[in-house]
Amino acid sequence: MTTRDLTMAMIFFLQTTVGLLGNFSVFYYYLFLYLTGYKLRCTDLILKYLTVANLLVIFSKGIPQTMASFGLTHFLDDFGCKLVFFVHRVGRDVAIGTTCLLTVFQVIMISPGDSRLAQLKIKAPKYVGTSNIFCWVLNIVRSIVVPFHLTDKRNNINITKKIDQDYCYAISYDKIAESFYVPLLLSHDGFCLGWDYLGHHPCVLGNGSSVYPPPRRARIPWQKDSEMQKSLRFPRS
- If 0-12 CB within 10 Å is exposed, 13-18 middle and 19+ buried, where does residue 21 land? exposed
Q: Is residue 237 part of a domain?
A: no
Q: Is residue 123 part of a domain?
A: yes
> Phi-psi region for residue 206, left (φ > 0), alpha (ψ -120 to 50) or beta?
beta
Q: Is residue 236 part of a domain?
A: no
Express each pLDDT in 144-188 by its tens digit. Answer: 888 888 888 777 666 657 778 888 888 876 666 666 667 777 776
Q: Is residue 168 part of a domain?
A: yes
Domain that holds residue 117: 3-231
Express each pLDDT in 197-229 by its tens digit. Answer: 665 555 544 444 334 344 444 444 444 444 444
Residue 142: give its domain's CATH number.
1.20.1070.10
Q: Is residue 188 part of a domain?
A: yes
Indicate whether 87 pLDDT > 70.
yes
Q: Is residue 30 part of a domain?
A: yes
Indicate whether 70 pLDDT > 80.
yes
Indicate whether 3 pLDDT > 70.
yes
Q: Is residue 215 part of a domain?
A: yes
Mean per-residue pLDDT over the chain, rounded: 77
How much is the pLDDT for 192?
72
- CA gap 97, 138 in Å, rounded: 10
Pinpoint the alpha helices (H) of the chain.
3-35, 42-57, 63-69, 78-109, 128-142, 175-200, 202-205, 221-231
pTM (predicted TM-score): 0.75
Number of domains in the chain: 1
